[in-house]
Amino acid sequence: MQITPLLINGQDTVPTSADPVDSSTTFQGVTPALALQAISSSAQAFTSWSKSSPSYRRQLLQKIAGLLSERADEFVQCMQQEIHAPAVWAEINVHDSINLLNETAGLISDSMMGSVPVTNGESYAMVLKEPLGVVLSMVPWNAPIILGLRGIVAPLAAGNTVILKGSELSPRTHYLLASLFRDAGFPPGVVNFILHRAEDAEDIFQTMIAHPAVRKCNFTGSTNVGRIIASKAAWALKPVLLELGGKNFALVLDDADIELAAREIIKGAFLNIQNGQICMSTDLVFAVQEIAPSITSRILSHLELITSPYEVISPASKQRLQNLVDDAKAKGASIHQADTPCLHDHQFPATVIEGLTSDMDYFSMESFGPVVGIMQVESEVEANELSQRLAYGLSASIFTASHFKALKLAGNIRSGAIHVNAMTVHDEATLPHGGQGESGWGRFGAKWGLDRTVNAPDIDTHHGENCHQDQIPHPERELFPQMRPASTSEEVHSAQHKGRYGCHLEDDSRNHDVGSWFRVSDNLAGFRCGGSAADGLYNEGDDITGTEYPEVGSRLQIGAFGTKEVDETP
């Protein structure tokens, strides 16, 4: 019997003291002691990996892309065997994963670039980008290659080490994924791989998230599990990125291309994806009443062309789908199913629910299977109101001939992604991916994903009282080359910080000699001490030396930064 091992510190790990777990593939379940061993390995590897150059990390990620391309057939076959995936879906997983690796590799240098922000002039600051530490990545079974890589590539690119927690429903595929990093030459411990039994999930996660070396986690999966992860991560004060469930809808307006809309809806619900078992699958159709009969007719015509049942992940999943369909039927909906006999308990026919209403369980509950419901609405306003009642907000589609109308509607839709005249299933390596509401928070993908895997500490260097400004480069000196240090020979004798000529120098803590320059704002140097006509308007840097002194009680306005009250005259 082949047992899928854990991978810790570069070594396959199958301890004799633990029992393997039976699933679609027999695998070794992690124990708390092994989980701590994986954390220790990752923490030790972080010391050197975090200091590796962006170019080094880029080369290794590109090498992973090459290895995945070479082993594509092995990955496709394994994914088909474990989760009953159609070959085309497994091939899409490989193709998209290679794109993700190459895109992320190309972003590494820019994503780690710091900045020099503007300060108040009393200090110089640098904002750095530094890796967090050990990142725990928990990935799902339904798209095990692309979603597995998505959870670990960005943290690795930013210099973090990763513990990949694979799914018990696709353990072999996730092990093959982790093995790529070892075979590509990643140092031991940079990528560790663990699995555990479903009943051990809460204890193992609690052990890991509480460890001080684990600085962040990301999770892709169900909303119910996401709640548990969020609560335990909050207790440990650890940030978490969540991509959870969805109830994705397509809004079909009266000016839509009906054939295009029907084709994209069917594709988003059933075809060329994981049998409806993907977070972005099209679940609901809101059709305005003028075109509802025609769009329903076209969708049902496409349904008749489906010639085989769909494989779902488990008998329990099949029963859950059947319960949703039965509830809709009992409440008055018409059920249409493809004429495809289901020969075993992993199969479910493509199903269209016509006449869906908001009181049916299917309207609000995530279905995660080959089912789509059609709901007639009076207008896009009603459709938007119904969509706002959904707890989820992951993906949506708008079908209309007017791009202006689509953009206007999109601004009112609560969703992580909105697609115009295309299906709800769409993801690219260059785009952010994530949801709102019970679909989670945070973003995977491209620079958005990389930004969430780093700290941004700022380093401030202050001038200090004894630091001569002539010795420090500063942008202000280019604006005011005449500026010289203000006198520090006299003490401040009041809270007003009076100047020699009576101005309240509220932005400075020292008196100044005639002719010296002082600062009056956070961004620019000040004006020169001296007399001036009362109530004059001056910009920073203006020489206001003159023969007339301001009157007591008048105010001098210094550019846009406020006024200075004249308190006394010589």
Return d(Cα 393, Cα 386) in angstroms, integer. Answer: 12
CA distances from 303 to 98, 349, 434, 472 (A): 33, 10, 30, 74
CB 15 within 8 A of CB 4: no
Which residue's structure tokens are 């961004």?
Answer: 523
Task: Return phi, psi of residue 21, to 5°.
Answer: -105, 135
Long-range contacts, 328-331 (Cβ 8 Å, 24+): 328/353, 328/356, 328/360, 328/361, 328/362, 328/373, 331/357, 331/359, 331/360
| Nearest residue to 142 (alpha-carbon basis) of 312, 349, 6, 318 | 312
Tell me the three state secondary structure of residue 45.
Answer: helix
CB 348 within 8 A of CB 306: no
Catalytic positions, written as ranges: 243
Q: Which residues, 6 or more positions from 456, have their beta carbon under 8 angstroms from its beta carbon?
A: 127, 128, 129, 130
Return d(Cα 364, Cα 171) in angstroms, integer. Answer: 31
The number of residues in the chain equals 570
CB 295 within 8 A of CB 258: yes
CB 80 within 8 A of CB 310: no
Return d(Cα 371, Cα 94) in angstroms, integer. Answer: 26
Determine whether 139 is exposed, middle or buried from the number of CB atoms within 10 Å of its CB (0-12, 13-18, 19+): buried
Task: Return phi, psi of residue 135, to 5°.
Answer: -115, 130
Return d(Cα 164, Cα 169) in angstroms, integer. Answer: 15
Return d(Cα 151, Cα 147) in angstroms, integer. Answer: 6
Task: Return phi, psi of residue 336, to 5°.
Answer: -120, 130
| Nearest residue to 48 (alpha-carbon basis) of 152, 131, 165, 149 | 131
| Nearest residue to 431 (alpha-carbon basis) of 418, 415, 448 | 448
Q: Which residues are paired to 377 by β-bridges?
A: 288
Q: Tokens for 362?
A: 């299917």
